[in-house]
Amino acid sequence: MSRWFLEEKGFDLDRAISQGNKFLTGNGYMGIRGTLEEFEKKQLVAINLAGIYDRAGEGWREPLNAPNGLYTVLHVDGETYRLPEKSPIAHTLYLDYRKALFTRKTTWQTAKGKVTIETERFASLEEPHLLVMKYCILTEFCADIELVTGIDADVWDINGPHYAQIALSEEGSFIKAIGTTSENHEKVCVIEGCQTDFVKENKLGIGEKRILRNLAFTAEAGKRFEVTKWIGIYTSKDAKDFEEQAKVLVSQCMEQGYGASKDLHIQQWEERWRVSEVIIEGDDVAMEALNYSLYHLQAIAPRHTESLSIAARGLSGQTYKGAVFWDTEMFMLDFFLYTEPCIARTLLKYRLDTLEGAKSKAKSYGYEGAFYPWESQEGGYEACSDYNVIDVFTKRPMRTYFRDKQIHISSAVVYGIVRYLETTGDYSILEEGGIETVLECAKFYHSLLLKRVHKAFYELRDVIGPDEYHERVNNNGYTNRMAKYTFEQAVRMCDLLKQLPKSTRMRIEALYYIEKLREQFEEAAGRIYIPEPDEEGIIEQFDGYKKLEDVSVEQVRSRLLNEKEYWGGAYGVAAHTQVIKQADVVTWLTLFPKDFEEKILLKNWEYYEPRTEHGSSLSACMYALLACRCGMAEKAYPFFLKSASAEIDGEGKQWAGLIYIGGTHPAAAGGAYMTAINGFGGVYFEEGKIKVKPQLPPMWKKLRFKVWYKGMLYEVEETHQDYSVRTLSRSTR
């Protein structure tokens, strides 16, 4: 039987960091790291907020962590019981990821008997601004208890502190913390209401960054004492009267009661699982890893707004600056398209709404059109700096060119829009800026094309492909192919325009000389250089790639003088070799398998795989998908499992020198999903119909899942011998 929970026993401070990611709970508005109630910033506690950022001083701009309303410390008979300081005799973390409930149970031994705390918490999926926790205390003896609980506004930051001011106050029975950011003076408001039925004394203490209640009472032996905390979180970006709204929410929910809030939350999750769960009979490990990955995608899906995207590390903290990368469109989007298309729309709407930012980035480089940020924050602000890596030897910042040269980002946006159109059949997105976005991205690539006098084709020179270890290369196959795709889609948009409502047509025609653009893009699509396989069937990743030293990943690794050395850039150990960071040509072939015969796909898989370090969690799923395409389900399986287990294993890099770079890996989760559904499940769409061509790994007895396609929900069931596709319902959208 496949389990829907994750459990870890025993306390180990070193594991506490990765547990923060593994036991994350969230609802798209906030992500709460799976840390303990008594933890503070040094244990990387975070209630990470979506879509609100700050820049403190010269540091990187990053998302905000809200003041921590969960903060609670226990004292029994005058002694403090908290981790890591006091060793427990038993300690368990438990995440029910079907219901998105986090629980913790810790027992300490004292001379008089045992002291146990049990907590349960959830970020409500029903009410995005609500976080609720129940905290229970049980002693085997009669004891004087002091529970110090309130809001800790001394939050963990990577490049903070972000709150220039923190105002702490008491409002009736509520306590409140308001942090004001240093850059834009935005406010984050946390209001906490606390319910107990036994307290003798309730004193309030207000420090510089903490507002705490001191709940004192006498505990009877063997009796459970419960405290429920209701935490409302709003920012000044949410509403004008955000403080009022937070207060009203907390009062209403307190009145409703813990059980009712919890039930509504669970119902919402059940509703999501009804469509998104993937049943794999015969392989519990795969089924658990996959559904647990999907849990993570669900927990960070922006449901509270119509225009927001997902950061590369989800809501697990401030790593990667809380920025949105190509990860969303290329890796995560399909999951939402198939299971909750309105979320896919929200993600894309974010790109449409940040088109102006992308246009000004292009302009700043002297290009036309839209050059989307490599690391996008709100408003399309480019968060990627010129210096992304610190040299371990000189300790000097190294110039990296991700921001300037990873031009394939704009094509990812186009790919997402087109995939949305094709999977949902909802063309309204084109009326809301979709057409302009595609045209502007095509204009961008057009302005970059280079035609040499003696050559008949166009080139894209000085770029970085998905493999970031080789910077500033010419004619990266993936990039050129995606630019060609962008031109083709722009031509399609010019044609589609005729079918759109008159108002949209007129708006677009006033902006662009459509006939001329169409002609330009058509010509560019036909003449952009696309590398062909050589006599051995291998497609060169970029001009001159095959002339580089051909060594194994292990040989390259053995050349490191310091294990934290960066492999890429000008002097990196991989830069002058054929060793690559992540799937590159293989990503191209996965997206466009019809470009070549199957034997070419296979040859390139076999050529590039041993040369790939898989130094990014985005890599394995592309190898898994292409392996499936080549009929190698067995070979695909370990790559699939690697993607699906990114969080369960927790083996991803956590630190780069002194900088925390860990977090969750939603792109890997999305990649694992695509492998299960499109790879093993063989789902594809043709002539407006859903079709399947299953090829299950040997031990999978049955695969069952649901997929939305063009407003209809289908249930697909597959075995090694047979399959069925059933229509379940029609969307009311």
Distance from the Cα of residue 156 to its chain's centroid: 20
Reported in sequence order, the residue ranges of 111-209 that DSSP labels E, i.e. its strands, are 113-123, 130-139, 143-152, 163-171, 174-181, 187-195, 201-206
3-state secondary structure 632-690: CHHHHHHHHHHHHCHHHHCCCCCEECCEECCCCCHHHHHHHHHHHHHHHCCEEEECCEE
Q: Which is nearer to ligand BGC, 116 or 319 (CB)?
A: 319
Binding site for ligand BGC (CB under 6 A): 312, 320, 325-327, 466, 468, 581-582, 616, 618, 667
Whole-number Cα distances in Å, 391 to 385, 469, 604, 698: 15, 15, 33, 46
Q: Which is nearer to ligand BGC, 232 or 671 (CB)?
A: 671
For residues 327 and 388, give the distance between their C-alpha atoms in angstroms, rounded to a whole number: 18
Region of residue 687 (left: phi > 0; alpha: psi -120 to 50; beta: else): left
In the three-class reduction of DSSP (H, G, I as helix; E, B as strand; rest coil), residue 533 is classed as coil
Question: Nearest 5°: phi and psi at 270?
Answer: -60, -40
Give yes or no: 565 in active site. no
Take residue 469 and report the two structure tokens written for it: 């270890």
Cross-strand pairs, 232 = 130, 191
Q: How far is the CB of 617 from ligand BGC (least distance, A)?
A: 7
Take residue 25 and report the two structure tokens written for it: 């709970």
Q: Which is nearer to ligand BGC, 30 or 580 (CB)?
A: 580
- The span from the first CA to the last CA of the chain, in angstroms, equals 36
Considering 468, 488, 647, 718, which one is annotated as catalytic?
Answer: 468
Q: How far is the CB of 245 from ligand BGC (least distance, A)?
A: 34
Region of residue 45 (left: phi > 0; alpha: psi -120 to 50; beta: else): beta
Q: Which is nearer to ligand BGC, 421 or 668 (CB)?
A: 668
Q: How far is the CB of 400 from ligand BGC (least distance, A)?
A: 11
Cross-strand pairs, 62 = 54
Cross-strand pairs, 74 = 81, 147
For residues 713 and 706, give the distance between their C-alpha atoms in angstroms, rounded to a whole number: 7
Give every CB contact of residue 394 below 8 A, 6+ residues apart in sequence.
none
Question: What is 378-424 written as a DSSP string?
Answer: GGG-B---SEEEE-TTT-PEEE--HHHH-THHHHHHHHHHHHHHHHH
Q: How far is the CB of 618 from ligand BGC (least distance, A)?
A: 5
Q: Which is nearer to ligand BGC, 327 or 718 (CB)?
A: 327
Q: Which is nearer to ligand BGC, 234 or 320 (CB)?
A: 320
Q: How far is the CB of 320 from ligand BGC (least distance, A)?
A: 6
Q: How far is the CB of 309 from ligand BGC (least distance, A)?
A: 13
Q: How far is the CB of 54 from ligand BGC (least distance, A)?
A: 21
Q: How far is the CB of 581 from ligand BGC (least distance, A)?
A: 6
Q: How far is the CB of 388 from ligand BGC (least distance, A)?
A: 10
Q: Which is nearer to ligand BGC, 23 or 325 (CB)?
A: 325
Q: How far is the CB of 511 from ligand BGC (least distance, A)?
A: 31
For residues 570 and 584, give the distance between their C-alpha atoms in angstroms, rounded to a whole number: 19
Give every CB contact of residue 419 below 8 A, 6+ residues apart in sequence.
329, 333, 334, 337
Q: Is the dihedral of CA 559, 469, 549, 396 positive or negative?
A: negative
Take residue 692 and report the two structure tokens written for it: 């399947």
Q: Among residues 167, 164, 153, 192, which one has the least CA distance to residue 68?
A: 153
Q: Which is nearer to ligand BGC, 667 or 692 (CB)?
A: 667
Q: Which is nearer to ligand BGC, 277 or 468 (CB)?
A: 468
Whole-number Cα distances in Å, 283 to 109, 286, 455, 671, 722: 40, 6, 54, 19, 18
Q: Which residue has the tokens 């952009």?
A: 528
In the three-class reduction of DSSP (H, G, I as helix; E, B as strand; rest coil), residue 94 is classed as strand
Q: Which is nearer to ligand BGC, 339 or 582 (CB)?
A: 582
Reported in sequence order, the residue ranges of 220-306 that DSSP labels E, i.e. its strands, are 224-235, 279-281
Q: Which is nearer to ligand BGC, 318 or 582 (CB)?
A: 582
SS3 content of the chain, % helix, strand, coil (to 5): 35, 25, 35
For residues 185 and 237, give the distance between their C-alpha atoms in angstroms, rounded to a whole number: 11
Give every CB contact of residue 595 below 8 A, 6+ residues apart in sequence.
481, 588, 589
Q: Which is nearer to ligand BGC, 156 or 320 (CB)?
A: 320
Query: 400 near 333, Cβ under 8 Å?
Result: no
Q: How far is the CB of 541 from ligand BGC (least distance, A)?
A: 14
Give every CB contact of residue 558 below 8 A, 6+ residues apart in sequence.
none
Active-site residue list: 468
